[in-house]
Structures are given as C-alpha cells and as structure tokens.
C-alpha cells in the first residue's frame, strides 16, 4: 500500500454496509442458475474484467454448472480514483472469440463505459453473442447508451462503493461485503 492513500479504516467508519457476504453469495447462486438456463449447455468463454471482478468471478464460476473456458481482460478507467476517466487496456483476451458465446463478467455497471468498450471489443473479435454479467448496477441517469446487464445481482444507490472486489483507493477489495461511502 502506498502511504499517500486515504485511510481505509476511516472510510469504513463512515460507510454503510449495503450487502453482506451471505446476501451476495445467495444472489450469485441465483445468477449462476439463470446463466445455466441461458447457456442451455453451450460452453462459453468466461471473460473476467480484472481487477474488480476477481472475487465475484470466483464465486460465480462455482455457481455455474455448465463447463466454461476461462480468460480475462484488464481494462481500467478509475485507476484507484473515485471518478472515472478514459479507458486503459492493460490486457486483451487471449482466447479466440470467433463464433463463441462470451460471459462478460464484471463487478459493477456504473456509467457503462468499461463494459460497453469490452463488449464491443468482443464483438469485433467475432463473438457470436456476449452476455453481460454484473454483480451490481448503480442507479442514476448517467448510463451510456447501448449497454445493459443481461444478468445483474443487486442494485446500488448512486454512491461510491467498495468491497467484494471493488476498491477504495486500491484498498478494501477483499472486504466480504459491499460498503458505500456516505
């Protein structure tokens, strides 16, 4: 951890727990069942958007019964800050996506720039179908056109959140729940 980061303990002291681990695990089990139904036996590419989706992806993969092929991308536009800027690609998919069904797995759909860009990239690479899977979606009117979650776990208020993979200045990703700053 860099010494200049704001204190995670101070953030937690002033934050609200929105969803605890048990609630999230239960939601994710339901998402896995719904995804199995949509895949109907087809072996999809399970494409995780690093870093934020890491924890969600692990839980979700165990909740899906259909065999899937793992790959990941790393695209970031927040880079440890609490507001986004342009998208930086740090890692592109390695699997050939031509004619594949892709489960595009991310932690949060906020303004939608990240998932829209990654979804469009998958389609450019020849994916036949991209199913957008997000643990949570933030409620506001800033969502960009042309993106939505095909599978969403929970709805969030329009507040900065962290935990369960999501960072507070690159801290708190391993907190077992979703917290919101006041």
Ligand X SMILES: O=P(O)(O)OC[C@H]1O[C@H](OP(=O)(O)OP(=O)(O)O)[C@H](O)[C@@H]1O
Ligand Y SMILES: Nc1nc2[nH]cnc2c(=O)[nH]1
Task: Name the token pair of 164.
Answer: 């369960």
* Residue 56 near ligand Y by CB under 6 A: no
Integer-rounded Cα Rg, in Å, for the chain is 16
For position 77 contacting ligand X by CB under 6 A, the verdict is yes
- Applying CB under 6 A, among 167, 169, 175, 178 the residue interacting with ligand Y is 167
Residue 149 in the binding site for ligand Y (CB under 6 A):
no
Give the C-alpha separation, 138 to 86, whole Å: 19
Q: Is 115 in the site for ligand Y (CB under 6 A)?
A: no
Verify whether residue 110 is a known catalytic residue.
yes
What single-letter DSSP state applies at residue 117? H
Contact 111, 95 (CB under 8 A): no
Our CB check for ligand Y shows the closer of 19 and 162 to be: 162
Q: How far is the CB of 138 from ligand Y (least distance, A)?
A: 6
Q: What residues from 68 to 97 belong to the interface with ligand Y (CB under 6 A)?
A: 78
Looking at 107, 110, 121, 167, which residue is catalytic? Answer: 110
Q: Does 107 bind ligand X (CB under 6 A)?
A: yes
Residue at shortest CB range from ligand X:
52
162 contacts ligand Y (rule: CB under 6 A): yes
Q: What would the x/- binding string for ligand X be over residues 41 to 60, using CB under 6 A?
A: --------x-xx--------
6 backbone dihedrals φ, ψ, rounded to 5°: -60, 155
Phi then psi dihedrals of residue 3, to 5 deg: -70, -20
Q: Which residues lie across from 162 on neighbouring strands? A: 179
Least distance CB 128 / ligand Y (angstroms): 28
DSSP per residue over 92-110, as a string?
Answer: ---S--TT-EEEEEEEEES
Task: Say what the alpha-carbon torsion angle 62, 64, 66, 68 is, to the nearest 10 degrees.
Answer: -60
How far apart are the C-alpha atoms of 17 and 161, rounded to whole Å? 9
Q: Which residues are tagged catalytic?
A: 110
- The residues that touch ligand X, with contacts defined as CB under 6 A, are 49, 51-52, 76-78, 84, 106-114, 167
- The residues that touch ligand Y, with contacts defined as CB under 6 A, are 78, 108, 110, 160-162, 166-167
């Amino acid at each position: 951890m860099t010494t200049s980061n704001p204190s995670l303990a101070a953030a937690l002291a002033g934050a609200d727990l929105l969803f605890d681990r048990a609630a999230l695990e239960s939601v994710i089990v339901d998402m896995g069942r719904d995804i199995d139904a949509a895949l109907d036996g087809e072996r999809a590419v399970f494409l995780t958007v690093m870093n934020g989706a890491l924890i969600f992806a692990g839980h979700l993969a165990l909740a899906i019964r259909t065999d899937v092929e793992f790959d990941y991308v790393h695209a970031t536009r927040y880079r440890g800050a609490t507001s986004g800027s342009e998208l930086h690609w740090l890692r592109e998919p390695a699997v050939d996506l031509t004619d594949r069904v892709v489960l595009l797995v991310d932690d949060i759909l906020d303004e939608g720039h990240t998932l829209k860009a990654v979804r469009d990239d998958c389609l450019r690479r020849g994916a036949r179908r991209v199913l957008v899977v997000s643990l949570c979606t933030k409620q506001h009117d800033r969502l960009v056109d042309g993106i939505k979650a095909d599978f969403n776990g929970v709805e969030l208020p329009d507040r900065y959140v962290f935990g369960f993979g999501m960072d507070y200045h690159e801290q708190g990703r391993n907190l077992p729940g979703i917290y919101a700053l006041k």
